[in-house]
Structure 1
């Protein structure tokens, strides 16, 4: 669920004075000003314009791809974002809601049509006051529920469905650019100079086990409607949860060396991340419950994982459904050309990643249905053969 990215976008907007979001922006701005005054009072005002990390400075002797690389070439590195795998629960909840609303609408429309067309109830009985009253109450509840879902909840659902399957960050060492691949409502596709990027990695943080988290990239921008701040902040949340701070530094070092020293300065990823939706991998993903600090339920609490298997199966299906309800995106043509991508390969991948998952999912559902109902799984083939 792309909640963090959504919060960044919301912080850039201008809201109606006195609204909840406007008041929150004002509080955040006041908090930032107090922090600035404190730094100036301590003689540390220069830190406000100093980056947390110098991209020319090596912060780790080790490098680690953190299992977050989609593709590595001589010119660019495609890295996953932290929230790509955090999905499924909204799809489960809203899927149940839609599953209830659709037959509810169909039933009410059918009953009202029977009344208007034939003057009787849908089952043929004569109309009475109680029957009409029940229908009016039903419509009185259905309309506001549908409105709230369409007006507010569907937009929240887009944080993990009906959107890009993954947000991606491309580091191109030849153009010296960092490209962000996102849908429009999360900031859209952006390109920033490598020198502008700041990795939020405090230099003197101790390496306590369990204090890891995600790699945060930040860039100051002029795009900003927030009336309480003179600049905007864009960025991305990269990689998988790190087990400790050293692990986080080694992940950043992998990216930094690639950009500063070349593709040969870092080893090939131990394993590239797959872009193919798969119900089994979805169940594996949610069962791990990877959280900042490297807390991994799958690795540390095997007995609990086994006990919660039914929960993970249901959640995994929601995760898989959210992937199927989304689409595989790609960078604009100008960025693809600057990266040396093959246009033919790009088109074939776009078609394959968006079409094949729907096809093999439909086949899988048919095979399961045929097995459950004792049908011949070859029936569709015989039908198409004539």
Structure 2
């Protein structure tokens, strides 16, 4: 459940002296993707425009009033349950080993009628063996396995995000090993639902993606959040984003009231996420595929059971008092999260890695055509393509800075 957030946070705080991780040929390092000022300005401008004529929220929404809207957050909610099943299986193995060790230690000694009472050495040896084996498994699990298990159990039941319309702030609630609680400015948000140019895989199978560059996080690294359910298409993602945007910019008036979801771990909350973002696939699939889905339905049942156990073994997330009271009359506004709010060793790591997230000035260069079949003509400079390239060069030279772009769109607003 928290695997993506945990991996992203490890990428943010990893040191250059750390041992390189093994990567697959298809893996992409997000730090290798450069960001340009023109991209930042365009994404901020698009996030302030209307994205859909039919705003709607598909949930899960936990709080909705005139001040706050709280939603489920995080990537991979539909995959939750597998780590729980493996962790509980390991728990059962360790518990059985400890119980067996205690049982053999309490075996009544064998009483010989001639020599008197003697000790059952086989039971004693088996008890010591099981005790040492269980202790070894327990120590190894606490050091290596527990951090992985806490991605699904013995932690907050959900990652949540809260939008406060009165303070114009966004709050992210995450465990400390995934980045912790963060307060961000609404003005600096970019969204995958702003338009089709910012869409991720057409919105299929991905939740709404929100992003804050390091220009707004004040912590030398960008923040991101996956909000709501996985989408079936980009229209659903745009409608979700438009619902959030109108709530923050205009208020809840005129918006359809979303269905409020309880934090209580009901069983159906564990089985429905498995089918998020797959409605289009089920509708268009052939009869053979539908038959195959019916045959593997026990696997969905087992995964859903693990998801429910995960919910039962977690606790309801709770905001600090200053965030719960934010926006009420006479209550202070929570300060934005800065680098100084992090522990000293985390601050050092973030400073070392600040160059990985630096925004490059100017405009993103145009992509070069790959393997052209014919050589360009000598008079290509007079062709429309040549004129277009000159226009792009002039545009890149006149690209405003990020600060100028933000001031411009603030004045237009």
Same-fold call, TM > 0.5?
A: yes
Partner in structure 2 of residue 163 of structure 1: 155
* Counterpart-to-counterpart distance in 2, 1:208 and 1:163: 31
User: Structure 1 regions of 5+ residues with no counterpart?
Assistant: 37-44, 224-230, 342-386
CA contact (8 A) 2:67 2:166 kept: yes
Q: 1:73 to 1:302 in 2, by over 3 A?
A: farther
Q: Separation in 2 of the partners of 1:207 and 1:5? A: 18
Question: In 1, are the aligned partners of 2:110 and 2:118 still within 8 Å (CA)?
Answer: no
Residue 299 (structure 1) shift: 9.7
Partner Cα separation in structure 2 for residue 60 and residue 262 of structure 1: 16
Normalising by the residue count of structure 2, what TM-score does the alignment of the two structures yield? 0.65
Figure out how many residues of one structure are paired with residues of the other and give that number: 312
In the TM superposition, residue 98 of structure 1 has moved relative to its aligned partner by 0.5
Residues 1:281 and 1:260: Cα distance change in structure 2 (over 3 Å): closer
Corresponding position of 2:249: 260
Structure with bigger RCO (C-alpha 8 Å, 6+ apart): 2
Task: Report the Cα distance in structure 2 between the residues aligned to 1:192 and 1:304, rounded to whole angstroms.
Answer: 45
CA contact (8 A) 1:217 1:238 kept: yes
1:59 alignment partner, SS class: coil
Shift, 1:99, TM fit: 0.6
The 5 Å alignment of 1:1-386 reads 1-15=1-15, 17-20=17-20, 28=29, 31-32=32-33, 35=34, 45-47=36-38, 49-50=40-41, 52-54=43-45, 55-83=47-75, 84-111=77-104, 138=130, 141-201=133-193, 203-204=196-197, 211=204, 213-219=206-212, 220=214, 221-223=217-219, 231-269=220-258, 271-286=259-274, 288=275, 290-291=276-277, 303-340=291-328
Distance verdict in 2 for CA 1:210–1:318, change over 3 Å = same
Looking at structure 1, the residues matched to 40 and 261 of structure 2 have their Cα atoms a distance apart, in angstroms, of: 36
Structure 1 residues 273 and 140: alpha-carbon distance in aligned structure 2, compared to 1, 3 A threshold:
same
Structure 2: 5+ residue stretches without partners: 112-116, 330-413
SS at match of 2:167: coil
Deviations 1:37-82 (A, max 9, x none): xxxxxxxx43254352433211222212123322221122111114
Please, what TM-score do these two structures have when normalized by structure 1?
0.69
Distance 1:299 1:306, change over 3 A: farther
Give the deviation of 1:264 after TM superposition.
0.7
Alignment partners' CA distance in 1, 2:237 and 2:271: 26
Alignment root-mean-square deviation, CA: 3.6
